[in-house]
Structure 1
């Protein structure tokens, strides 16, 4: 699944790891002229992998502007990259409560839920993101990934219950190929 604005460093499907590009775009779109330096500094620290410094700078900014949605979003991204999913979930949940009109926090929340295999929560968050912004391609792609993972789970359960089924193995293979497409390098060989 893709997050809105920074790469996820996990062993989850490729689509989850591609979330970073969307996060960077969101950060740029939210950047106001007045705070461009602060956002830019935090983004640069984040891109450089200096997560503790980025978090400190974000916290200093938020000490005086606690409701700023962009810096709060960046803080959630930083916490995600630091491997602090509980704190990141809390940050994105708070954003969805304070700014329910923003689809990106729902998308990132869904990515965290999906990484924790909480697929029903991920689905609900992504459905909210696409309800808010029907043109949000990243959220639609992520929702498709969640649906595919849910389908895989259902097919696996059905196969456990009916080992004689001839249709289920083919369906399971098809869903797995969607979730784990061959790499371009492997496809060229």
Structure 2
């Protein structure tokens, strides 16, 4: 007895059914991400975190929900937990630049500009065209320049008049633009 592949119509039905099931599964996943983010946007951070935790318990290797959870933790002021999760993501998924970028944001928020720079450089080694990391690197460099000018002004009081306009210009660049209509 020889095994033969199923007749073409049967095979096509199976392939189509597998495709439909995969799409349904992808839609369910997208719904979970959407729901967690909706809960966060509506001020239900605790429920968003609980839902993310339930999802991660069922899908522990899902990098996207773990990344979303890191954002939830950061928004809740649990930056140490967010950092731990992002560091773990960089180990589990070294091909992803986003965790490095978000680590840089956490480091910069704590004034650890050198660590932020290293994290952004790691993100850009993975994806040199990662626009968000490039923008964050630009913002970081502006902040570093302003800090350097400020230190120079403190070290040499006579340079204050010369450096003040540069510092003011750079500080103005670091101020977020006003929202339209607001």
TM-score, scaled relative to structure 1: 0.75
CA–CA separation in structure 2 for the residues paired with 1:83 and 1:179: 22
Instruction: Give the SS at the match of 2:173.
Output: helix
Instruction: Give the SS at the match of 1:164.
Output: helix
Q: Give 1:180's match in structure 2, choosing from 156, 170, 175.
A: 175
Please tell me whether residue 85 in structure 1 is matched to residue 79 in structure 2.
Answer: yes
Please tell me whether residue 59 in structure 1 is matched to residue 62 in structure 2.
Answer: no
Q: Give 1:95's match in structure 2, choosing from 84, 89, 93.
A: 89
CA–CA separation in structure 1 for the residues paired with 2:155 and 2:32: 56
Match in the other structure for 2:30? 36
Match in the other structure for 1:145? 139
RMSD of the TM alignment (CA)? Answer: 2.1
Deviation (angstroms), 1:161: 1.0
Match in the other structure for 2:162? 167
Deviation (angstroms), 1:167: 3.1
Higher helix share: 2
Per-residue CA deviations over 1:113-134 (Å, capped at 9, x if unaligned) read: 1111111111111111122112
Deviation (angstroms), 1:181: 6.0
CA–CA separation in structure 1 for the residues paired with 2:31 and 2:49: 15
CA–CA separation in structure 1 for the residues paired with 2:59 and 2:175: 42
Please tell me whether residue 119 in structure 1 is matched to residue 119 in structure 2.
Answer: no
Q: Give 2:63's match in structure 1, choosing from 69, 78, 82.
A: 69
Q: Which has the larger radius of gyration?
A: 2
CA–CA separation in structure 1 for the residues paired with 2:165 and 2:36: 47
Structure 2 gaps of 5+ residues are: 1-24
Flag as ranges the 4+ runs of structure 1 deviating above 4 A. none
Deviation (angstroms), 1:137: 1.3
CA–CA separation in structure 1 for the residues paired with 2:165 and 2:156: 14
Match in the other structure for 2:17? none
Deviation (angstroms), 1:96: 1.0
Q: How many residues align?
A: 156
